[in-house]
Amino acid sequence: MLKAFIMVSLTPNSIAKFTEAVRKLPFVKRILSLTGEWDVCVEFEGETADDLYRLHAEMDGLIGLIENTVTSVVMKEFEP
């Protein structure tokens, strides 16, 4: 299993449209609204890097809503 977090900076007043579109995409586990530099964190969970690529390709269709993204792949999970 491959997990990643996609941090997203949105254009003004686009969070509702963005979350409505992204919640329908495959491999999206959660969408979190944030304070600070990033507006949203999209939690990805898929089987392969190709799945992550497909999610990014789908998100590219939201060009008018997204200003910037950074993706971090989870290398290891630790128990609390």
For residues 23 and 38, is the Cβ–Cβ distance under 8 A?
no
Whole-structure pTM value: 0.92
Instruction: Provide the residue count of the chain.
Output: 80
- Judge whether 54 lies within some domain: yes
Q: What residues does 30 pair with on adjacent strands?
A: 43
Torsions phi, psi of 55, nearest 5?
-65, -45
Q: What residues does 40 pair with on adjacent strands?
A: 8, 33
- Judge whether 36 lies within some domain: yes
- Structurally, the chain folds into a number of domains equal to 1
Kindly report the CATH number assigned to the domain that includes residue 21: 3.30.70.920
- Judge whether 80 lies within some domain: no
Residue reference for tokens 């609204």? 33
Using CA atoms, how far apart are residues 53 and 63, in angstroms rounded to an integer?
16
- Please give the pLDDT value at position 39: 97
- Judge whether 79 lies within some domain: no
Range of the domain at 53: 2-73
Taking residues 27-50, report their average pLDDT: 97
- Judge whether 11 lies within some domain: yes
Taking residues 43-72, report their average pLDDT: 93
